[in-house]
Chain A
Amino acid sequence: KAGVTQTPRYLIKTRGQQVTLSCSPISGHRSVSWYQQTPGQGLQFLFEYFSETQRNKGNFPGRFSGRQFSNSRSEMNVSTLELGDSALYLCASSQRDATNEKLFFGSGTQLSVL
């Protein structure tokens, strides 16, 4: 069974641009959650989707958005990039509910904002 796939693996953008990151969950998993990881702030929860509906959202500005498609694949978008958005963005999938089930993480997308 293929694991969680995130694309692209690396991304370089400049301030003010926007970026879209993609996540394909494990086949059969319907829940996808996104996290931002930085050396200073650690793993910060961005949002969680289940069956195309956003269930929860972390404390991030409105520039951060996401969506989930009917095949459970998910994308997150960051608009008007700032230097502080440089981070490793991780997505994780689980079968139903991220609360009670273990999360399977992808390898992440390393975003650098110049």
Chain B
Amino acid sequence: DAKTTQPNSMESNEEEPVHLPCNHSTISGTDYIHWYRQLPSQGPEYVIHGLTSNVNNRMASLAIAEDRKSSTLILHRATLRDAAVYYCSGRYSSASKIIFGSGTRLSIRP
């Protein structure tokens, strides 16, 4: 069955880089990997997405493993505002639905 797994929680210091991992072992070659983050009492907010190669935007970078079975969201310099629950997701064509990981709660120490 299609599955996306993430660590439950991570902690980091302010202004240090953060690497958030995600395993999506059943993803197929044409399924995009998306990352979202969610603050309390809000809907998830888009962070980044990619297919094969590494992707960068103003918020973060996404490093995708060569076999596409895992990816890592990189926040280059964490701020207190980055404290949130981060979800990776993908559409597994075999299951024809969008699957979210259980989310990683990121805490930032001042």
**Chain A residues within 8 Å of B, Cβ to Cβ:** 4, 33, 35, 42-45, 48, 56-58, 90, 92, 98-100, 102-108
Binary flags per residue of B75-110, CB closer than 8 Å to A gives 1, else 0: 000000000000101010000111111110000000
Please tell me the number of chain B residues within 8 Å of chain A, measured between CB atoms. Answer: 22
Q: List 11 A-B contacts (CB under 8 A).
A: A42-B87, A42-B103, A43-B100, A43-B103, A44-B100, A56-B97, A92-B44, A98-B98, A105-B45, A107-B41, A107-B43
Chain A residues whose C-beta falls within 8 Å of the C-beta of B91 in the assembled complex? 98-99
Chain A residues whose C-beta falls within 8 Å of the C-beta of B44 in the assembled complex? 43, 90, 92, 103, 105
Majority secondary structure, B binding face: strand
**CB–CB B46/A45 < 8 A:** no
B53 at the interface (CB under 8 A from A): no
